[in-house]
Amino acid sequence: MIEKKPIRKDRVAIAVIFLIAVILIPILLTHSGGKEAPPVQVISETPTTVVAPPATTPATEPETTEPTTPTEPSTTETPAATPTETPTSPIITYTVAAGDTLAKIGAKLGVSVDQLMADNRILSPQSLKPGQILHAVKDGILHLVKPGQTLTDISITYSVPVEKITAANDITDPSKIYAGEELIIPGASPALWKRVIKLSNGVESRFIWPALGKVTSGFGWRIHPVYKVRHFHNGIDIDLPEGTPVYAAAPGRVYFIGEEEGYGNEAILQHSDGYYTVYGHLSKFLVYKGQFVEAGQEIAESGNTGVSSGPHLHFEIRNGDFPVDPIRYLP
């Protein structure tokens, strides 16, 4: 008779545990792998990128309207007549064309040749060039403001009240005018510029003649006409009858007015570049110290004061303190 061996319970328990492990381990592995889904939350950032596309649709709208705006200015700028007068300014602008003369231009603009030359400071009609820009006004003349010049100075030069000049140029503060700007001088004539043309002989020069007359004594060593001794003559003598107008040889400020030994009644003008002009033996002054005068403006009358052998004008040009030969600087 075969004897049956009893089943060991411990081995049964081990087998059951093994089976459970075989079943549960895959399940646990599958479940634990699903917990890596949170990185998908990065997709939640996509709404911030979605905000950009709506901005592209309105951006196309301005592009459709912009092409229409450039066409409008191009039509308004086409009518560019050669003589132009803006509604806000009575100053006429004209571009010189080939074959133009001052007479032709004056006829087109309705101004005289003398006025056209004064407005543009033209010394000779032959200096006109194609492409040159001219300005003109029908009432009065144009004045170019110099450094240091005031409305009072300009008013005296042209004998036009300050109030009329400010009104013609819409100036609210008469104390504020600027060098280089052009002012309308209403009612003024071109007489001053015509005189400049005459005293300059119609050519560009640093200085113009202070008066027209015969030069009786030049610059340099000479025998003094009164003392009869050899001495150095610092200027030139121009033979003029007493009371002849004496003019400023360049724009400048009156530096000295008064009596000087030897010179008699003397006027000295200070100019912008360090030069001075001296006018001696005068009989009468027509300006005051500190006044700014224009080239060609009458400043005095000739005479026979001081040490003089007869009525004449003694004229000097000084570079700083040093006298120079006036003939070298005059036209």
Nearest to 184, CA basis, from 147, 152, 137, 135: 137
CA distance 14 to 20: 10
CA distance 8 to 31: 36
pLDDT tens, 76-105? 443 434 566 555 678 999 999 999 999 999
Do residues 266 and 280 touch, judged by C-beta distance below 8 A? yes
CA distance 293 to 252: 6
User: What are the DSSP E strand ranges found in 77-227?
Assistant: 84-85, 92-95, 133-136, 141-144, 182-185, 215-217, 220-223
Q: Which two tokens stand for residue 318?
A: 């000084």
Do residues 144 and 185 touch, judged by C-beta distance below 8 A? no
Share of the chain above pLDDT 90, in %: 72
DSSP assignment letter at 303: B
pTM: 0.74
In this prediction, residue 89 carries a pLDDT of 76
In this prediction, residue 16 carries a pLDDT of 63
pLDDT band at 44 (very low <50, low <70, confident <90, very high): very low
Instruction: Tell me if the domain spanning 89-200 has CATH number 2.60.120.650.
Output: no
**Lowest model confidence (mean pLDDT) among 56-70, 150-164, 283-297:** 56-70
CA distance 236 to 258: 20
- Return left, alpha or beta for 49; rule: phi > 0 is left, psi -120 to 50 is alpha, else beta: alpha
pLDDT band at 314 (very low <50, low <70, confident <90, very high): very high
Q: What is the DSSP string of 17-64?
A: HHHHHHHHHHHHHHHHHGGG-GGGGGGGGHHHHHTHHHHHHHHHHHHH
Contacts of 205 (CB under 8 A, 6+ apart): 329, 330, 331
In this prediction, residue 54 carries a pLDDT of 43
User: What are the DSSP E strand ranges found in the chain?
Assistant: 84-85, 92-95, 133-136, 141-144, 182-185, 215-217, 220-223, 230-233, 236-239, 245-247, 252-260, 264-270, 275-285, 292-293, 298-302, 312-319, 322-324
Do residues 83 and 136 touch, judged by C-beta distance below 8 A? no
Nearest to 121, CA basis, from 201, 193, 187, 186: 193
Share of the chain above pLDDT 70, in %: 74
Q: Indicate if 215-328 has the same CATH topology as 89-200.
A: no
pLDDT tens, 58-72? 444 434 344 444 444
What Å distances lie between residue 136 and 90, 125, 251, 295, CA to CA?
8, 16, 22, 21
CATH architecture under which domain 215-328 falls: Distorted Sandwich (2.70)
Q: Residue 90 pairs with which residues in a beta bridge? A: none
User: How far does the chain reach from its first CA to its final CA, in angstroms?
Assistant: 164
* For range 266-284, the mean pLDDT: 97
DSSP assignment letter at 92: E
Query: What number of other Cβ atoms are within 10 A of residue 58's Cβ?
Result: 8
In this prediction, residue 111 carries a pLDDT of 96
Contacts of 311 (CB under 8 A, 6+ apart): 239, 240, 241, 242, 281, 302, 303, 304
Angle at which helices 113-120 and 102-109 cross, to 10°:
100
pLDDT tens, 184-231? 999 999 999 999 999 999 999 999 999 999 999 999 999 999 999 999
Domain limits of the chain? 89-200, 215-328
Do residues 240 and 216 touch, judged by C-beta distance below 8 A? no
